[in-house]
Each structure stands twice: as C-alpha cells, then as structure tokens.
C-alpha cells in the first residue's frame, strides 16, 4: 500500500471507550485532524482470543491507512495488548514502513513511576487485558521495583455502554472489583484504569477506592505521549494535517453511535457507516 504524503491522525477502538482517548488528545492537540474508527458491530474485544483481536485490529488499521492516516493510535487496551506488537513487527514493514501504529499501554506505564510512592500499583481492566499481563510487563520494563496487581472487571463496560454508569446497581459491581484488588495488595497507592470506558464510572470508583489512592485515567498521559512523539519525530508531524477537524466511522448503526458518543463527548457528531473484513 503506497503511503500518501499527508492525512489525519487515526484513532481506533473496538467500541466507544476510545472516545475518551480522542477527547484527551483533542484537548491538548486541537490543531490536528482526527479520524475515529469504532468497530462497534464486533465489540467488545475484551473476551476474544489473541488471533481474533489481531485480525480485527489489522483490518481497522488498513481501513484507516486507506483513508490517508499516516499515524494510527490503538485507543483500545485490548488491541494494544493483543495486536500492537504483531502489527508493528510483521505488518507495517510489508504495508508501508513509513507509517506508524502506537498503543496506549506504554504511555501510562512510562509515567507510573512518578505517581506511586509505595511502589505498589493496581490495574482494573477487561479480562483480555488482565490475562495478557501487558501492564505488568510494560511497567516492569520501566520500573522493575514496582509490584503490579490486576483484577478483571467484566461488567464495567456494559454498565457504561447501556448508560447505567450512574445507576444504583453499578455500585455493587464497582465496589466488588475494587475490594478484590485492594485485598490482593493493601499497599497499592495508585490504580490504573486499564480500559478506556472506565473514566465514565469515575464517580463510583472514587466512592469506593480508599482515600489517598491515586486513580489514573489514560487520556491525559496518552495525549502527552503523542505530543512528545510528534515533537521527536518532525517527519511524522509534518505528515499529520492540521485543520482542527474530526470524522467518525463505525461498523454499526450510525444512529446508535451518535447516541452513545454523546455519553463520552457531550457533543453531537456526524458518523459514517463502514465495513471491515
């Protein structure tokens, strides 16, 4: 696939959670053009196998490349955990060695050492992300002295996507997983929300996380990491167009996407339906 000279920054997620990443990036870097792709028809990815997540993610990256994106961010922890390395090492050299695909696990892992005093960190994420141990591996690369404990939160994504994040019923599921994490390691003083949906549960999470523990959402750190990346790679920065625009693509019903996007962005969006695979 031949590389076009310029295009928007692509952001991919299996569902809507990546909109929290997009929001954080736009807050810091509003001048760029963005193209968001949600594979909502096949979400969630959290319980799918490595092979399936890789294939779905690869299809999405190819679609964003077809749309002119020179740089794609996997705004999905499951895709970052299960597909990023294979795409970077095996696919990009064949597709277009000049383009780049980045994930959202490493930016958080890189800063966690500055955010914990006890050197005990917790991760709340989907089953797929926890089983991959991606956060543990990335954090240990940067900070071998930090102990990492993780708990899967299988019901948290549906709570957000069905607009139940503020419901009384959500309290049970949120408290249960936080209690489980703190029982694993009472010395934890920082908790990473390792799923892009989870910031929408923040009021409930703050309610049940013991006082003095830092809760870390990824959006701000991914945005800062992207800003640093573009500064360090001016050749890529020049290939990212700058008209402060955003386009949205979904594999699902556009009306459904518009309705759900309101929960994450609090603004009306125009969205186009596409097919992957």
Residues classed as catalytic: 76, 195
Triad 127, 130, 131: Cα angle to 5°: 80
Residues sharing a CB contact under 8 Å with residue 49, sequence separation 6 or more, in sequence order:
none
């Amino acid at each position: 696939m031949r590389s076009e000279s310029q295009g928007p920054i692509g952001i991919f997620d299996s569902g809507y959670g990546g909109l929290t990443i997009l929001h954080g990036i736009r807050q810091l870097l509003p001048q760029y053009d963005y193209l968001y792709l949600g594979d909502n028809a096949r979400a969630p990815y959290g319980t799918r196998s490595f092979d399936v997540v890789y294939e779905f993610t690869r299809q999405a990256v190819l679609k964003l490349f077809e749309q002119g994106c020179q740089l794609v961010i996997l705004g999905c922890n499951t895709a970052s955990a299960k597909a990023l390395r294979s795409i970077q090492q095996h696919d990009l050299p064949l597709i277009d060695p000049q383009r780049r695909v980045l994930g959202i696990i490493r930016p958080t892992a890189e800063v966690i050492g500055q955010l914990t005093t006890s050197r005990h960190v917790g991760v709340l994420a989907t089953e797929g992300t926890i089983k991959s141990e991606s956060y543990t591996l990335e954090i240990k690369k940067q900070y071998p002295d930090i102990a990492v404990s993780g708990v899967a939160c299988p019901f948290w994504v549906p709570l957000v996507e069905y607009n139940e994040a503020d419901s009384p019923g959500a309290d049970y599921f949120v408290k249960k997983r936080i209690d489980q994490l703190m029982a694993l390691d009472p010395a934890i003083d920082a908790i990473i929300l390792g799923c892009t949906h989870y910031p929408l549960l923040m009021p409930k999470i703050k309610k049940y996380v013991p006082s003095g523990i830092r809760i870390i959402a990824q959006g701000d750190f991914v945005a800062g990491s992207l800003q640093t990346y573009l500064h360090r790679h001016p050749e890529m920065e020049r290939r990212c167009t700058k008209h402060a625009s955003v386009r949205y693509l979904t594999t699902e019903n556009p009306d459904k996407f518009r309705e759900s996007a309101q929960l994450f962005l609090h603004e009306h969006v125009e969205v186009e339906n596409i097919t992957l695979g």
